[in-house]
Amino acid sequence: MAGSATRWRDCRARSPPKSNASAVSAAGPIMAALHADLAESIERTLVDEARRNELAIAYVRAVAVALAGLLNFGFSAYPRESVGMEQFSTLNALLSSAWLLVSMVLAAMLYRGWYRPRLPVLLPFMDAIMVLTMFVTVFVTALQPGEAMLHPGVLTAAGCVLFAITGALRLTRAAAALTTGLSVLVFAAISAIASYAPAQALFVCAIIVSAGLLAGKMGDIVRRAVEGETSRLILQRFLPANLVEAGTRAAIDIISRPRSLQVTVLISDLRDFTAIADQIPPEEVLEFLNLFQGAFARAVRDHGGTVDKFMGDGLLAVFGAPEPLADHAACAIRAARAMLATAETLNAGQSGRGKPRASLGIGIHSGAVIAGCLGSGSRMEFTVVGDTVNIASRLEANTKALGVPILISEDSIGQSRSEFPDESASPTFREVGDVSVRGRGGSIKVFTFAAGAGSEEPR
């Protein structure tokens, strides 16, 4: 308060939530809907990420097969110089070309957005067949006793390890297990064909399994990260950041149980916005709104409030929901003063750039509301309803007619009195009089900031 030594309490101090047994029965469907919304969004995000990863695998597959094809063509053209053989069958190069064509077609289809949920299951089988056929062809046509070329079993072992790792990019344990299992089966078949010593085959299979387990663990880490980030982004539609960061389960519990809470509602409106919008190009209208509404939203959050919703040029904020807030009325008044000060600062900048100025109207009222979720699925949102919201809206609508930037109800003044211990002598507020509220019998005594008090932060 200007000229006062009164210390303001921390507006973020939270009151312990009160139990509301009557709301528990209503929480079940809402909780289920929220969990379903989260699960659907997480699954959709994971599918999108898996599709992008499948495209990356397709690129790697095409590059690997292309390199194998180039080597096979080089071996066929210059067998003595490259592999120390008199002749190297062109069948290997032709097979590589066929697999390259398949790989390129698949990559092109994925690039164009074609994706099916069964692909992470079907493609590992295709990769297993590709690795096995390329090995068998080289083994049958090229490998001869005493030849100097690199044994195809070594290359195939490396390929099987790489094959097992691709399961991590498909972001499911089933895919990781499938690719690892197929990799082991492929190398076991190769070991039987090439008559490898059992100890050698088991050693390579152990490496493949280890790579697959590591890949599966990496996939789990990525999946948990995606789930956590998706949940956080969805819950930020309902809750302040500090509550979201506290944990998904606790956050869902807060917003899924309808409760009756004592809160303070703040409603603001940019006056004459329609006229302003007619003065500026269409592309600048949203820029104008984002400039002012974004700054007002920060003022609300900085003082412990929650922005319930933006209504074009209007804003509805609540102090004391979804989590009870100590001194919610005083916090709302502080936020309003910060908003008015912010508007003055922004208007000064607007004038300097030759842009239109904004005039702000604010209504504040304290009382009971029902806080909970409305809607369903992805359209569900947290909100507050009740007569308190209606009165705050009516007060804001009266600010222009009364020529004041803000109207605060007597109820809000009374609840904030612990922060203003000497209201009768304080210059902070000025009584405006009684205001009739449409749809409500009687009138409400309202106050505004005294001259010079509206743009200063209380000390």
**343, two tokens:** 């508007």
Is 75 or 23 the better-scoring residue by pLDDT?
Answer: 75
Whether pTM exceeds 0.85: no
Among the listed residues 367, 366, 371, the one whose alpha carbon sits nearest the alpha carbon of residue 260:
371
Distances (CA, A) of 129 to 14, 102, 432: 62, 13, 84
Phi and psi, residue 376, nearest 5°: -150, 155
> Which residue matches tokens 């069964």?
118
pLDDT category at 38 given cuts 50, 70, 90 is low
What's the Cα-to-Cα distance from 25 to each of 362, 369, 392, rounded to whole Å?
A: 36, 19, 30
Between residues 149 and 212, which one has the greater pLDDT? 212
Q: Residue for token digits 């922060």?
A: 419
Which is higher by pLDDT, 86 or 164?
Answer: 164
Tell me which amino acid residue 52 is.
R
Count of CB atoms situated within 10 Å of the CB of 292 = 22
- What confidence score (pLDDT) does residue 295 get? 93
Residue 92 has pLDDT above 70, yes or no: yes
pLDDT at 11 over 70: no
Cis-peptide, bond into residue 124, ω within 30° of zero: no
**Tens digit of each residue's pLDDT (9 = 90 or more) over 24-33:** 344 455 556 6
Q: Is the pLDDT assigned to residue 6 strictly greater than 70? A: no
Indicate if the pLDDT at residue 196 is higher than 90. no
Where residue 46 falls (left for φ over 0; alpha for ψ -120 to 50; beta otherwise) is: alpha
Q: Which residues pair with 366 in a beta bridge?
A: 264
Structure tokens at 44: 């959709």
Q: Which of 349, 334, 350 is nearest to 299 (CA)?
A: 334
Structure tokens, 422 = 């000497």
Average pLDDT score over residue span 286-297? 91
For the chain, the three-class secondary structure string (H helix, E strand, C coil) is CCCCCCCCCCCCCECCCCCCHHHHHHHHHHHHHHHHHHHHHHHHHHHHHHHHHHHHHHHHHHHHHHHHHHHHHHHHHCHHHHHCCCCCCCHHHHHHHHHHHHHHHHHHHHHCCCCCCCHHHHHHHHHHHHHHHHHHHHHHHCCCCCCCCCCHHHHHHHHHHHHHHHHHHCCCHHHHHHHHHHHHHHHHHHHHHHCCCHHHHHHHHHHHHHHHHHHHHHHHHHHHHHHHHHHHHHHCCCCCHHHHHCCHHHHHHHHHCCEEEEEEEEEEEEECHHHHHHHCCHHHHHHHHHHHHHHHHHHHHHCCCEEEEEECCEEEEEECCCCCECCHHHHHHHHHHHHHHHHHHHHHHHHHCCCCCCEEEEEEEEEEEEEEEECCHHHCEEEEECHHHHHHHHHHHHHHHHCCCEEEEHHHHHHCCCCCCCCCCCCCEEEEEEEECCCCCCEEEEEEECCCCCCCCCC
Place of tokens 């000060």: 341
- Say how far apart CA 318 and CA 328 lie, in whole Å: 9
Q: Specify the long-range contacts of residues 117-121, CB closer than 8 Å, at least 24 apart.
A: 117/47, 119/54, 120/50, 120/54, 120/170, 120/172, 120/174, 120/175, 120/178, 121/174, 121/175, 121/178
Interatomic CA distance for residues 346 and 423, integer angstroms: 31
pLDDT band at 336 (very low <50, low <70, confident <90, very high): very high
Q: What domains does the chain contain, in order, with CATH numbers?
A: 40-234 (no CATH), 258-449 (3.30.70.1230)
Dist CA 333 CA 336 (whole Å)? 5
How do residues 197-245 score in pLDDT, each as one tens digit? 888 888 888 988 998 888 888 888 877 877 777 777 666 666 656 556 6
pLDDT (average), residues 184-196: 85
- Mean residue pLDDT across the chain: 78
The amino acid occupying position 283 is E
* 47, two tokens: 């599918």
- State the Cα–Cα distance between residues 17 and 4, nearest whole angstrom: 32
Residue 435, strand partner residues: 444
Q: Is the pLDDT of residue 8 over 60?
A: no
C-alpha span between 413 and 364 (Å, rounded): 10
Angle between helices 198-235 and 173-194 (to 10 degrees): 170
